[in-house]
Structure 1
Amino acid sequence: MSAASDVYKRQCKVVFVVGDFTTTIGDPTGKNKARPEISREKIESNMKTYLEQVGKILLTDEKSFSWVPNSDWFTSVTDINLPADSKIGFQVVHDGVKITTPVDPNTIVGKAIVFENTRKQVSEQTSVLRRQISVVTLTSFLWTLRHITHAQLIKRDMFQDRLAKNEDLYMHEMMYPVLQGIDSSVITTLYGSCDMEIGGTDQTFNMLMGRQIQEINKINYETAGVSSDLQAVVTMDILSGTDGVEKMSKSLDNYISIADEANDMYGKVLSIPDALIVQYFRLCTYMPMAEIEEVARDLEHGAKNPKDIKMRLAREIVAMYHGQEKALMAEAAFTNTFKHGEVPHDAAEVVITAGEKLIDVLLREHVVPSKTEFRRLIKEGAISVVETAEKIDTPDFVITKSANFRIGKRRFIKIVLK
């Protein structure tokens, strides 16, 4: 998104395509096995989170920004199924009078009404969007496939790796690059052009497929009066997760969210391995490259303590999303907590009755997500009493006096007995 923000300087519009439909397939990129299906509820929850974060980086006024889910064109009228008690009205105007007639929501007419009223292509039409609805039908999808060979798709390196290991490769996974490529073609139709697609280096194959699908649709673009220019493809390096092993991913819990509170964001940045410091400066900050190269030299020659450099990195990142004042406050809170042994002032406080088990309190207060996670932390010696540094070594630990507890690296809770 930081790269996308640069296009504003060139008076371009950013279109954020939310792959809610293609997420149901799961991009096989970088995976040595098929991804499990994700529920619609989870997809919508994630989509809301993504959109909430966009405004922290991109301008979101109508002139500069637009977003659209690709379910807008990959789902059709017949995919809609509503509860029988849903209320749908068909409205007509007769002699200047509006008349609304109830319609069964699961008839073709009812579904058509819901379909049109739920298309973002319709609900947020502006002077930029064209007055039409784009829908990918089975007919149009097969027409696209007629112009793409099996050999083109199967040559992807991750597919070749699967085949070499005699692992399953499903047809819906092979279709993923085609579906993503169709996104580019639809954006061209809706907005009049799709000039550039920005994505990670792991998306290069998929984005180039978008160019190919634009190429085969040129005659359709000319008929529709839209640009037939092919999109440029810009790839960005993939940001490694805080574990230093996998790429950053919410599902792997190795991510730093743009929406994180300042203290949490600061602490997570400090948790990254030293080997990632330069990468994070380069991909996550606006620091000039000359300064980043200086940081790299300091790390290479041991001229500065990596922890001090990492604290500077944390300040830079937190300041981008929360402002300089909160960045300095987060640093002070970290110093007091981890250097001086203090409990954060904003740590949760709970009043309980003596004799309760610690596991029950932490689960009830959502400090840990499950009994399994609690036992893992106990086994790793990651739960302790702040005042005495005593490590809790049993899952059945009973609270007999007021105390502050540290859970993991950055979680604290103040427990007070009645």
Structure 2
Amino acid sequence: MTEWRTHLRRTMNELSSSASTRAVDSMLNYETVKYFGNERYEAQRYDEHLMLYRKAAIRAQRSLSMLSLGQQLIIALCLIAVLWRATQGVLDKQLTLGDFVYRVLKQSISDMERMFSLLEIESEIKDSQGAPPLAVRSAEVRFEHVSFSYEPPRQILRDLTFTIAAGTTTAVVGHSGSGKSTLVRLLLRFYDVDKAGGGRIVIDGQDIRAVTQDSLRAAMGIVPQDTVLFNDTIYHNITYGRPSAARDEVIAAARHAHIHAFIESLPAGYDTLVGERGLKLSGGEKQRIAIARALLKDPHILIFDEATSALDSRAERSIQQALEQIARNRTTLIIAHRLSTVIHAQQILVMDQGRIIERGTHHELLAAGNVYAQMWALQHQQHAPTGEDEMLPLVAD
């Protein structure tokens, strides 16, 4: 009988591992889940894995019950004898009812302490009561006197004010640690601006703290610098931008991201597993899948956080042209170290130590001859041209 139920137990263990992997994968990639507002989708997928595990666990438990019927019968008879003796002790006033059940209560409370501590933790960023959804009209984004610090002694942003006009592209450049990526985290409400005099961020005149987080993130599509993929197929990772998308839409997004030909060359095509955090793909391939995912979402506001940093110069040029077409008539924010990727922007902001020290178009900033012009010149000094396939220079940190 033990041999018969071994395969049932093995199936249950495999399904348990699958459910745990699904949960851990979602939590490791929590930023991507929030980027696309797919918390409910992840919960549904996890619930499906748990239902399969539940069925297997029930079958295994039934077989175990049959196997241990004889043993349980002996234990039950002994337990009855013990209960009878304990009951007699209570009736004879040698024991109290509390003495009888104390161990079980104490053990149960101890087992639940961890759960109670988790339930007592409050989310730092939460929707205000009765918050309405974001009503996107022209998708104009404005930072008004924004100040922010992760910790009080360390100020990251200092009194920033700028506007990303509807349908235009604004690029933010600067050395590492200048606060560029913090702008994205604030815009997505992973953090809120400082409460005391921290200013505000508004979209079409609506303070983002006054609307629901789901509607805010639904209006945005992001290609992050650190691209993380789920341990699933390429198709699943692209459709994560919009799980209800048709296959033709997924393929169209992959074509725009210049990744379709590569996917088709794989033996399993779109059903190829990418491995945990996409370890089976190169950095450029992961980044192009992230671009396809953002395009499939079709958002009002696009955010590119070093969207082409992992690509070679030829792939970067082709994708850059596609991104310019996609960003046309969309409100777009670009975070960049590589200045050659932002020369088309209608507005370029140069940041240093949490402040905007220059702003203007590419040609205006070059003519000014200040920090931006020095950064541009430094690129060409560090990377000499090597012909048609020259590598585009990087900004020095």
Q: Shared topology, TM-score over 0.5?
A: no
TM-score (norm 2): 0.23
Q: Which has the higher contact order (CA 8 A, sep 6+)?
A: 2
Q: Which has the larger radius of gyration?
A: 2
What is the TM-score with the length of structure 1 in the denominator? 0.22
